[in-house]
Structures are given as C-alpha cells and as structure tokens.
Structure 1
Amino acid sequence: MHRPGNSLRSLTAALLVSGALGLGACGTVETDTRPAVSAASPSPSAVLPAGSGSTSGPGPDGIPIRQATPEAGEVLAQPVRLQVEGTGIDLEVVPTGVRDDGAMTIPDNHYQAGWYRYGPAPGSSNGAAVLAAHVDSQTESLPIAGLKDVLPGTRVTVTLDDGSAVLYQTSQVESIAKRSLDGHRLFDRSGSPVLKVVTCGGRWLDAESDYEDNVVLTAAPLP
C-alpha cells in the first residue's frame, strides 16, 4: 500500500513548470531547487490572501459561488475543502510546495489534500489547479481511493477560505502510468481553467514501494 510520507513520485519530473525549476542530470528537479518567483511563477502571497474577489450569489447550500473565470487582476482566496458529489471524498485542503527531492509535498494523513500553491488556485481564469492526496495508509484505504470510480458529469466543489466555492464538473478520470505522466500538462499554467485531483492507483510494486499509476480527475469550471 502507499504509505503516508511517500510522495507522488511521478510528480518529481512533473514539477518543471514554465521553466521555473532547474533540471538535473537526468531531467528531474534538482534536490536543492525551489520554485522561482517570477512573472511566470507568482509567489504564494500573490494568490493566497482571503476575503477578496467577486461572487455570483448563493449556491444550493447557501454558500456563495465564486465566478469560475474571475476578472483580470482578481486576487484569489485559498482552497480549504474538496468535495466530490456522490462519493466519500470530503477533504480539508492545505497549501503545499516542493520537497527536497523535487516532488510535490502531500499531507501525511487521511483527511487532507494538498494544493500546489506555486500554481493556479481554484477559480483562476487560466491553468490547472492541482490537488493531491494519499490513496491509503498502512492499514486502510482512504476516501480519495474512490477517485478512480468517479463518472464524467460528477460535480466537484472546492470551498475557499473566504466562504465562497468554485464548482466544477468532471470531464474525465484517467489512470496514467507514472513513468509516462505528462507533468507539463498536469501543471499547466496557461491553458483553460481546470481542476486536477491526483492520487495513486494501479498495481502495487513491491520493488519500488509505490503504485504503478496515478489516477487523475480533470474537471472544468461550471459557469
């Protein structure tokens, strides 16, 4: 099983986003490299402040719904909760970054997902907001294990720390071999706004102490 404390190892090379990270000898992120702060790689403080941005009225549960494509210059709030309709996936979301080995940091527990804070935030008008969580612990499967069974059309809600929410609709769920995961596509900063939710899947590989695949849910913002 995938032990908490391991990362999505396939994300090591994937974190070469917009040229912001240096390349090592084998095409992986150097272990002492951190995301650079530049126009292509905004600092977390540029995207995390709460309490700003417009909303478009209350949703079905009385929670204000943030516009899926905010106006230019809007400062976005931080995601704090991920819910996938019709499943047991209901996780707290915390901002995460990059480990010393270049892999995306993932919370070491069963109730949190990590948001890659050096990329777009949910509700951004461009690029992929990436959330990731462990699929199981040493003793049990975790809620995110149900990600592989989510059907297209399923609604995904990301609640922000200003009390608003961004609504998404699942377009596809893929099981992708870690060795072939396209990190530049996963962490895209310039394309259409999407949400990517990632966990491990496929066969457990004893020799590597890791799963063979990543399960990736892609969802588009609802208007």
Structure 2
Amino acid sequence: MGTAAASGYGDGTAPGAAGTAVATGHVDTPTGGPGVFYDLGDLTEGATIEISRADRRTAVFTVRAVELHDRKNFPSEKVYGSTGRPELRLITCGGRYVKGTGYQSNVVVYARLTAVT
C-alpha cells in the first residue's frame, strides 16, 4: 500500500495501546483517482502494517483477516469493540458502487500488534 495519511479517531485508542485502534480512509477520490486505502482489500493474512506513533516509535501489526461487510448489516461490536489487547482496524468503502448512494459495503482489515520498534 505505500505511505499515506489516514484518519484515526482522536478520542480513541492509540495504535499499540491496549484496545482497538481504528483508522479510516477513502478508497477513491471525488475525481476518480485512488484514495489512501485504494489497495486495502488486497491485504492478506500475515501482511504487516507499520504505524508511526506520537512517541516516535513504530507499532507493527500483523493482519489476521480482511472482510467485506454490507453497510446495512455492519458488525459494529466486532469492528469497534475492544478485545483487551492492542489491535488495529482499517476501514474503507468497498463492494458495489451505486450512483447517488455510494459504496454498499466496507472493507475492514483486522490486525493485532506484533512488535513495537
């Protein structure tokens, strides 16, 4: 995926802290170009994600699953709920695009902390 900025929830869990850190980003731009999470759905189990933290350390997460969830039946507790251990969720739009209403699903990457460097 390359280096790019995504948006985290300011009042949420910091990446690498106990709990579930969440970052969202667009799959594409209003002009049709690729967004920050354009390739998010291409991640596979075992891939690593590195997040630069405010303390200048890097939190390294390992992907354990990539799922496509219908917006109408989005599993909020599964995605946002805390497991009690440091985890990461990356979320973007996905699935079928319908003009006027947008993407019908969300791609969610589930990852757990495996190192801090």
Give the TM-score taking structure 1 as reference length: 0.48
The Cα of 1:91 is off from its aligned counterpart by 1.9
Greater fraction of residues in strand: 2
Cα distance between partner residues in 2 of 1:193 and 1:162: 16
* Counterpart in the other structure of 1:192: 85
The question of whether the paired residues in 1 share the 8 Å contact of 2:66 and 2:109 is answered with yes
Unaligned runs of 5+ in 1: 1-86, 93-112
Matched residues, number: 114
After superposition, the Cα gap between the structure-2 partners of 1:131 and 1:205, relative to the gap in structure 1 and judged at 3 Å, is same
Q: Distance in 1 between matches of 2:82 and 2:74?
A: 17
Q: CA deviation at 1:184?
A: 2.2
Match of 1:155 in 2: 48
* Residue number in structure 2 paired with 1:214: 106
Determine if contact 2:64/2:111 at 8 Å carries over to the other structure: yes
Partner of 1:91: 4
- Does the 8 Å CA contact 1:200/1:211 hold for their aligned counterparts? yes
Segments of structure 2 that go 5 or more residues without pairing to the other structure are none
Alpha-carbon offset, residue 182 of structure 1 = 1.4
Q: TM-score scaled by structure 2?
A: 0.88
How far did 1:189 drift? 3.3
Paired amino acid for 1:128:
T
Match of 1:186, SS state, is helix
Which residue of structure 1 lines up, in the alignment, with residue 11 of structure 2? 118
The residue that corresponds to 1:128 in the other structure is 20
**Taking CA–CA contacts closer than 8 Å with sequence separation of 6 or more, which of the two structures ends up with the larger relative contact order?**
2
8 Å contact kept, 2:26–2:36: no
When the two chains are superposed, the root-mean-square deviation of aligned CA atoms in Å is 1.5
Amino acid at match of 1:149: D
Identity %: 29
CA offset at residue 190 of structure 1? 5.0
Distance 1:197 1:183, change over 3 A: same
Dislocated runs of 4+, deviation >6 Å = none
CA distance, structure 2, for counterparts of residue 190 and residue 218 of structure 1: 12
